[in-house]
Each structure stands twice: as structure tokens, then as C-alpha cells.
Amino acid sequence: MSSQKTALPRPIVIGGREFAWGLRTYVMGVVNVTPDSFSGDGLDRNVESAVRLALRMREDGADIIDVGGESTRPGFAAVPAHEEKARVLPAIDQLSRELDIPISIDTHKAEVARAALEAGAQMVNDVHGFRREPELARLAADTGAPAIAMHNQRDRECSDTIGEIAAGLLESLRIAAEQGLSDERIIVDPGFNFGWSEDQALEMLRRLDELRVLGRPILVGTSRKSTIGKVLGGLPVEERLEGTAATVAIAIANGADIVRVHDVKEMARVARMADAIVRGWRQDELAT
């Protein structure tokens, strides 16, 4: 694929807030109500801790909070829908009462997504891009919820990193259209570290701007991922802050519209600085 200039996607309204692309990078904060998160931040079912974390992220600059109840780390133990709901619904219900920013439900199960939307979530984040459960796209279409479609390369052969990502995301958009979900309500995610070698993951960031031809806003989630640890000599999860910052800055320079992160305060600052360089510094908008 070759990089080319494309028109900016139209704004998307999420939870009553308009997200206009191209003006700045939005920050999505991660709240894991799991016992086995790869990043070491799993809160299990501790609703009070989840609420405190989300409120702090909001104060630190998060634009969206993404709540997940099933780990997606390599070799993760799958949980049934009833267990996932038991983890996420109390947190989402409470967060919907206390947050003034949108809540996203990170799940690939339509049953979980439906319950989460009823509890107060306003967006769906599917790490399988509707390819495992197409009815999730139908749910988003029926409820009016925007959706994130991620390309997941696990258990698939790869000969062309960007080509595989583009083809996978086009398939997600096709499934969505088939289910009645307009691509104007979809954000795409190339799936950093979901089935890629370290070299392929780095290539993904280096060539991210080539995915602009899809015409959709791009979300990138590199935060604390294993590729960062490998590149930096085997650093553990808790020491990957600077590496994450580098990947976030590069992703923004190459076209990311949203960055999904654990360390919101630090990465919001990185995003603001990167935006000032890439999009132009406007003191009245960026310095406060």
C-alpha cells in the first residue's frame, strides 16, 4: 500500500461529545477490572478502585475510559460472558453516574456489550473487529453506539504487515456494513502486539500513515506492551513508561487520532507535545 492524502473522517459523537479528527489526539484511559491483566493494573471486581482510577484519569486528561473484564494477554484464560458481566457492569454503572466523559466497553462478546451499554457505556471496543461475533456490529447499529474495530493477527500467517492489517480492517468494515453499522461510526485499530513479531509491530508504527487510505480515525494501543520491553533489553511492565512515550509520539506523528494508555497523565503530556509539533501549537487551545 502507498501512503496518500485523504480527507479527514467526519466527527463522531460518543456519549454526547463530538470527537473531531485532525485537531488533536484524544487519550483513552484503560481500566481493567480483571485479576490477570498483562500490565499489572488489574483491579478484579473492586468497583471503588475502578472509580477512583477512572476519575483520576479524567483529571489527568483522559477523553474516554475503556473498561475491560477479560484479559487479552497472550495465553489468557477466557472467561464466560456471565463472569465478564459480573466484573464490568458494577464498575460501568457507577462510572456512568460520576464521569462526564464517554465510557467504552472492551469486549468481543455481544452479550457483554449489550449489558454494558444498558449499564451506561457509550461505545464498544472489539479486539476481533466483528469477525468473531458479527452481531456485535448489529448491536452497535441498533443502539447508535460507535465502535472500535481492531485487527487481530493471532493465529494468522503474515507476509505483509500493513497489507494484512488493511485487509483485516476492510473485512471488519464489510461485516459492519452487512450488519447495518455505517463505517462513519467506526474507529479502526491496527492491533499492536496482537499476533505480531517485534519487527512487525515496529513496522506497523513506522508505516501507520498508510492506513489513512481506509478513511477512518485510527486508535493505537502500545501502552506497556511486550515489544517495548524486548526492545529495551527485557524491561518489566512497570519500567516501560519511556518506551511507551516514544511509541505514542511516533504513532501521533504517523497519524494516530486516539492513543489507548495506562499512564494517562504522562501520555496526555506526550500527546500534547506531539500535537504541538505535528498539528501546530495554538497557545489558546493547547497551553491550558
- Known catalytic residues are 225, 260
Triad 15, 18, 21: Cα angle to 5°: 130
First to last CA, the chain: 39
Residue with cell 473485512: 171
Q: How far apart are CA 242 and CA 48, in angstroms?
A: 29
Distances (CA, A) of 235 to 17, 230, 232, 240: 38, 7, 6, 7
Residue with cell 462510572: 95
Q: How far apart are CA 54 and CA 262, in angstroms?
A: 11
Q: Nearest CA to 72 among 186, 223, 238?
A: 223
